[in-house]
Chains A and B, each alone.
Chain A
Amino acid sequence: MTQTAPKADPSPEQAAPAAALHTGTSDIRTLLTRNLRQSGIYIAFVAIVALFAILTGGTSLSPINITNIVLQYSYILVLAIGMVIVIIAGHIDLSVGSVVALTGAVSAVLVIQQGLPWWVGVLAALAVGLVVGAWHGFWVAYVGIPAFIVTLAGMLLFRGLTLRVLDNISLSPFTPEYQVVASGFLNGLLGGDGFDAFTLLIGAIAVAGYAVSGFRTRLARITYMQPVESFPLFVARVVLVGAVVMAFAWQLAHARGLPVVLIILAALVLAYGVVTRRTVFGRQVYAIGGNLSAAQLSGVRVRTVNFWIFVNMGLLSAVAGIIYSSRSNGAQPAAGNMFELDAIAAAFIGGAAVTGGVGTVVGAMVGGLIMAVMSNGMQLMGVDQSIQSVVKGLVLLLAVAFDIYNKRRGGTAR
């Protein structure tokens, strides 16, 4: 018996890419194809924006309308952040619409009926959201009831409680301070002639931040001998994103300035984007959704993670509830109806997989924006409600069909 037995051939791919690693390996084509799913969503988004810009003769891109889209759909986007995390972990939450209504109602009762300061209403709403989330988390994580059932029950339960809290009537109006959350603007802080310089400044800071963090990531990857895109391509990407952001800021600056709610939304997207990609918690969410048993046998505390996923969803539902009640300037028993479906649709259009384990916060945002731009554009064109619903339904279906088609082509499904 000797040691001459099969020696794995010195694999050729071992030596080759190592040399090519930190030269600019990815051109635009590989960048696009590397993640066709994601880039597909962006391309679709741009196409839809362009389509409605043409169909509405440019109205859809006007300063006022862009501001309106932000104000009108921000709460759906906030919900979509929480929802995509729930979906990545392989669950679903059908209750968020009811929770939006309940948190808004609690806040309205305290602020409008009891005359308490605005921040009491906000804190109470957040507290209610956390309690609701913990309730769902308890049943899903520790009792082991499927989230579909738990949150279906929650949908009925919290809608009922909303009616109770409001005594079946609408409450209105909120104090001006409370209205600022959703309808306020940061405007005129730095002056400007016919536009708001502050908004442009914030836009510029955002672009600079994007460029710097992108550059630092790039440097770190080079240090660790990871492949990076070529430098001209990196610059092109930063310039492109910068141009879009600045154009967006320019339009906002020419309308009413920087909406408060956009600041809230941007902060949430940034924070949750990082949480999902860079933290242990985020990793464990993907691990649970990807393969529950494997996650368990890798030492992931599945129950704890599931519990906090739902607590987080409750919290974000409360944030959405505050924004929505502020925007509608009151609380109605039927508030938030069907919001869950918009949030779920946003996550799936944005590339989340029905089976769990796949999805991104940014994707869900783009998915939500696709729905928003479509609804808004069709409203501008005066398209009938019924047709709007049909179109939205078809877009959701096609988005998921595209996803499945891609996966098959990718050869994941043998």
Chain B
Amino acid sequence: MTTANPQTNETVETIHEETVETNHDDHGHHEQPPKGIMRWILTTNHKDIGTLYLWFSLTMFFIGGAMAMVIRAELFEPGLQLVEPHFFNQMTTVHGLIMVFGAVMPAFTGLANWLVPMMIGAPDMALPRMNNWSFWILPFAFLILLSSLFMEGGGPDFGWTFYAPLSTKYSGDSTALFVFAIHIMGISSIMGAINVIVTIFNLRAPGMTWMKMPLFVWTWLVTAFLLIAVMPVLAGAVTMVLTDKFFGTSFFDAAGGGDPVMFQHIFWFFGHPEVYIMILPAFGIVSAIIPAFSRKKLFGYSSMVYAVASIAILSFVVWAHHMFTTGMPKVALLFFMYCTMLIAVPTGVKVFNWVATMWKGSLSFEPPMLFAVAFVVLFTIGGFSGLMLAMTPADFQYHDTYFVVAHFHYVLVTGAIFSIMAAAYYWLPKWTGHMYSMTLAKWHFWCSVISVNVLFFPMHFLGLAGMPRRIPDYNIQFANVNEIVSIGGFAFGLSQLLFLALVIKCCRGGEKAPAKPWDGAEGLEWEIPSPAPYHSFTTPPEVK
């Protein structure tokens, strides 16, 4: 440290001064946060904002989950019994929107807020005030979206993909609210992404070179660039829907010279990178947890970094695999098919690296590791069904069936959500300063992993047999399997209450957590005490 050159020292001091300055106006130089609600509204502290994001995400997870319960209850039996088809459509639509934009993405942003500064030895995020804004506009976006469900004419009912002309011609007036809600969510994600990039570029501790950064930081950096590249395109798409519906433009209206298929191109140009936005940080989490509980270094660190980057780049040239049945020319079908299959290569590199990390490791199966291992196995199942869908001729059979529903729930629930659960179990002692109940956590894991497979695995067969997605009724031949699926669904939903109970219990108290509760864990975040002090790394650590 003493040998560091003068310039580095100056930067260090500057950072220190700024942190103090940031906190100056609202609560001076106190080490502890102020009490009461204003702490949360005015906070610019990355840990507070991370906590807000995570609680918000958990709330949305339960709201979106409740909608899934409505869907599964209606599909428990053939015929229409509980809800009107119109309401069913709103449930499938809003369930998707809430889970994508309200549960998974804010959870990752929350984790980034908590962990990125601690992992790179920074005192806070680079842009703390913007950080406050990017969280606090989010609840309003979802308030607008959810309130539309209670208005005359109902909420959005055109599927989370809001294909034109469903969203431009056949939708209710609430489409305007939907559009504004998406705009706000997009602005929030973009601000979050800018913050992450600036933090990682400018606030790394001395010695924290690019190729020493933990993979969670790497994956989030790539994710942030993806967000900046595609969220504005989504904003453009919803704006076009808005003007087509209310202001007489014809972007997607064939009668006026537009083209509804173009909507799908624009939407999926956003939509496919979005898929990786929801999974890359998960790769980072798993790459932190598996080495810790294998007591080995991560196998193939640099290949992991390159794999993440290549997945991100490839994600921009595969969008039309969502549209194989729109009648594209053969050349385009082949191009998108091969590019899609190409993604299996870097993804395979990652999966094999995780397995190689575990190989001959000294494994132990604490709750974070259980979820991480389940992630590797179940995410790979989702990857395989993705490969099946990537084959154009086969996709004509699978398109718009429950096979697709099974596929993306394997990658998003047992992929993204399981990784978030794993992250919560891994870093919860660091966040709260308490150990949680291992017994309860293991109950949560086993209930979840069994029920989630009862829920989603049979959906593959429903899809192969031809059951279409997004329809409230189905042929009697699908009745038995749907019963099983619904039972799995209810069980999975109830299992998550165990998680809620565990987190609340852990926040309130429990056995005191040491600075590093997992003996194999590595990283700067474990060098500060648990719970992490309100201000950490105000003097940057030296990374060797």
- A and B together in one complex: no
